């Protein structure tokens, strides 16, 4: 399977040696569990897209420091590409910014959440078991870093998992689009680095709570297998 990674941001230069770029994180998350996967990166900020939509079997959109409602020249073409993928029923996974942009592109809405910043380890809970789920607990820990949230879902979207902080945490459209507000590709040290960098922005109480939450590990293996099963289902 060939997966096209739609890159919507870059890792800070001083962190790349330790953590890699965002496509590297997803290749580690998924490729380490399926050696038959092939990855190709399209930096959509630079207008990079496949020559043919069928050049890839599936697509994955990364997170970003930007907001989907920002007036940036690359966001409208990306929304258009999402609509093309949806029309063709191509497999698409959206993470954080990707989750929000897919909702915005397909009739939903993303805004700054009244709940404020979410950082560190959060717990999301499934309301039912989709076909690609496992037999484990319905609640799972996942690393998050976001202020924006999907406040209105895309047309036809089903909310699969949520929390009190994030009502629309995992969503699915048909059998071809899966989106997550959290970051299955993150590791605790990268989450800590982001919190340190944004300490003054997110506020000291949120920072302290977020750092304390890193005593727990995310359900990385489960989330990787969910995504892989969804892509191959």
Give me the pLDDT at residue 7, please: 98
Give me the pLDDT at residue 222, please: 98
Give me the pLDDT at residue 148, please: 98
Return the CATH number at 115.
Answer: 3.40.50.880
In whole angstroms, what separates CA 232 from the centre of its chain?
A: 18
Element (H, E) at 224: helix 220-232
> Contact, 61 vs 101, CB < 8 A?
yes
Burial class (CB in 10 A: 0-12, 13-18, 19+), 36: exposed
Count of domains for the chain: 1
Give me the pLDDT at residue 233, please: 85
Bridge partners for 111 per DSSP? 149
Give me the pLDDT at residue 123, please: 98
Provide the b/e sequence for 222-232 (b: ≥16 CB within 10 Å). bbbbbbbebbe
Give me the pLDDT at residue 186, please: 98
Range of the domain at 84: 2-232
Low-confidence ranges of the chain (pLDDT < 50): none
Residues in the chain: 233
Enter the pTM of the model. 0.96
- Nearest-CA neighbor of 110 among 79, 77, 144? 79
Which strands sit side by side in the sheet containing 58-61, from one edge to the other? 38-43, 2-7, 58-61, 91-95, 177-180, 170-173, 157-162, 118-126, 139-146
Give me the pLDDT at residue 19, please: 98
How many CB atoms neighbour CB 134 within 10 A? 11
């Amino acid at each position: 399977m060939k997966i096209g990674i739609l890159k919507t941001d870059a890792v800070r230069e001083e962190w790349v040696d330790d953590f890699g770029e965002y496509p590297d994180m997803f290749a580690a998350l998924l490729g380490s569990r399926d050696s038959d996967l092939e990855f190709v990166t399209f930096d959509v900020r630079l207008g990079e897209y496949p020559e043919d939509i069928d050049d890839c079997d599936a697509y994955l959109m990364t997170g970003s420091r930007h907001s989907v409602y920002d007036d940036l020249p690359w966001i409208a073409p990306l929304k258009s590409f999402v609509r093309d993928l949806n029309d063709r029923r191509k497999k698409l996974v959206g993470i954080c910014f990707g989750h929000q942009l897919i909702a915005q592109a397909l009739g939903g809405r993303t805004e700054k959440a009244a709940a404020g910043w979410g950082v560190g380890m959060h717990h999301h809970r499934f309301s039912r078991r989709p076909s690609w789920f496992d037999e484990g607990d319905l609640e799972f820990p996942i690393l998050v870093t976001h202020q924006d949230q999907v406040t209105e879902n895309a047309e036809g979207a089903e909310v699969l998992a949520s929390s009190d902080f994030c009502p629309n945490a995992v969503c699915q459209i048909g059998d071809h689009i899966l989106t997550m507000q959290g970051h299955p590709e993150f590791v605790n040290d990268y989450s800590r680095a982001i919190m340190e960098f944004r300490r003054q922005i997110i506020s000291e109480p949120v920072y302290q709570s977020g750092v304390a939450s890193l005593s727990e590990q995310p359900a990385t293996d489960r989330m990787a297998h969910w995504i892989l099963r969804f892509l191959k289902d």
